[in-house]
């Protein structure tokens, strides 16, 4: 396979570690050019440091470290404000003027498309329409990413997701012996991420588990602390037990493939 270029578009530093790190490490190891773009510096993330500019700087440094581990050739931050998340999980009422969620889709897409064109990208990875677990910035990544690929004429668009079927099964099972906080509703996961039948790509990244773990470890500001709120927030992102269970697979949906398409490589052709 001749070397190709893949751009991974994420909302915040650390999203790449959770969803696509194994695929990125695999592509880089195969000799492809891997570019990581984040919309925001994640300055309103959970951390011991107060949210704000200093946290954004810390998180960008963590992002560079993660990108280096994964073999990324280039890292860009579009510089939008982290929209944050309301305690109930929706759009935060108080947010910065340049919040990504308030950005004009067309303008943001144009900025990402400039990078896609500059890189002559063959592939763009974004999120599913649900934005995974529904963070408003992640939904915006889907919208902006779709449009950017259209503008730039990027051939392959992959929506990074999680197979929600085992996720829901596991959460229901966990609910029998673990009392979730009242605001935690397992049913919300029935519409989060993607159903197994919609998934077109199951990428085996077990060989890159070391890089994936190192990528996660690079985001130290997001990993510390053990209070209930934070544990809940982390669980809402990716439940730990499930994460360990499925550490070796990353999932994508490519919408221009016919139903029933099943691929194992981001650049794979269907039928194989």
Residues that bind Zn ion (CB under 5 A): 11-12, 15
Question: Residue 221 has what DSSP assignment?
Answer: G
Q: Select 15 or 119, whichever has its Cβ closest to Zn ion.
A: 15
Q: Is 200 left (phi over 0), alpha (psi -120 to 50) or beta?
A: alpha
Using DSSP's 3-state secondary structure scheme, residue 232 falls into: helix
Q: Select 15 or 62, whichever has its Cβ closest to Zn ion.
A: 15
Residue 23 CB, nearest approach to Zn ion (Å) = 17
Residue 24 CB, nearest approach to Zn ion (Å) = 16
Per DSSP, which regions of 41-128 are E strands? Answer: 74-80, 123-127
Furthest CA-CA distance within the chain: 52
Neighbours of 271 (CB within 10 A): 9
Q: Select 39 or 203, whichever has its Cβ closest to Zn ion.
A: 39
Give bridge partners of residue 158 from the DSSP assignment. 125
Residue 13 CB, nearest approach to Zn ion (Å) = 8
Residue 15 CB, nearest approach to Zn ion (Å) = 4
Per DSSP, which regions of the chain are E strands? Answer: 5-10, 33-40, 74-80, 123-127, 156-161, 201-204, 249-253
Q: Select 119 or 137, whichever has its Cβ closest to Zn ion.
A: 137
Of the chain, the end-to-end C-alpha distance in Å amounts to 14
Q: Select 11 or 70, whichever has its Cβ closest to Zn ion.
A: 11
Residue 137 CB, nearest approach to Zn ion (Å) = 6
Question: Residue 84 has what DSSP assignment?
Answer: -
Residue 1 CB, nearest approach to Zn ion (Å) = 31
Q: Select 67 or 152, whichever has its Cβ closest to Zn ion.
A: 67
Q: Answer positive or negative: Cα dihedral of 91, 95, 99, 102.
A: positive
């Amino acid at each position: 396979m001749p070397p190709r270029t893949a751009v991974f578009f994420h909302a915040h530093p650390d999203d790449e570690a959770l969803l696509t790190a194994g695929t990125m490490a695999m592509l880089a190891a195969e000799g492809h050019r891997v570019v990581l773009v984040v919309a925001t510096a994640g300055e309103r993330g959970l951390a011991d440091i107060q949210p704000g500019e200093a946290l954004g700087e810390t998180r960008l440094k963590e992002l560079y470290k993660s990108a280096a581990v994964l073999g990324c050739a280039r890292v860009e931050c579009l510089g939008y404000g982290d929209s944050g998340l309301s305690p109930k999980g929706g759009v935060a009422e108080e947010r910065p003027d340049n919040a990504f969620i308030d950005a004009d889709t067309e303008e943001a897409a144009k900025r990402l498309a400039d990078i896609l064109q500059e890189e002559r990208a063959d592939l763009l990875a974004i999120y599913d329409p649900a934005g995974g677990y529904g963070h408003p910035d992640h939904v915006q990544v889907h919208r902006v990413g779709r449009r950017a690929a259209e503008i730039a004429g990027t051939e392959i668009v992959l929506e990074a997701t999680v197979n929600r079927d085992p996720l829901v099964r596991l959460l229901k099972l966990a609910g029998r012996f673990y009392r979730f906080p009242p605001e935690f509703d397992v049913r919300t996961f029935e519409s989060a991420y993607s159903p197994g039948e919609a998934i077109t790509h199951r990428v085996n990244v077990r060989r890159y588990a070391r890089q994936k773990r190192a990528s996660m470890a690079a985001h130290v500001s997001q990993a510390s602390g053990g209070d209930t709120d934070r544990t809940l927030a982390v669980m809402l992102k990716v439940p730990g037990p499930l994460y360990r269970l499925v550490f070796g697979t990353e999932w994508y949906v490519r919408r221009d493939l016919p139903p029933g398409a099943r691929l194992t490589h981001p650049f794979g052709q269907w039928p194989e």
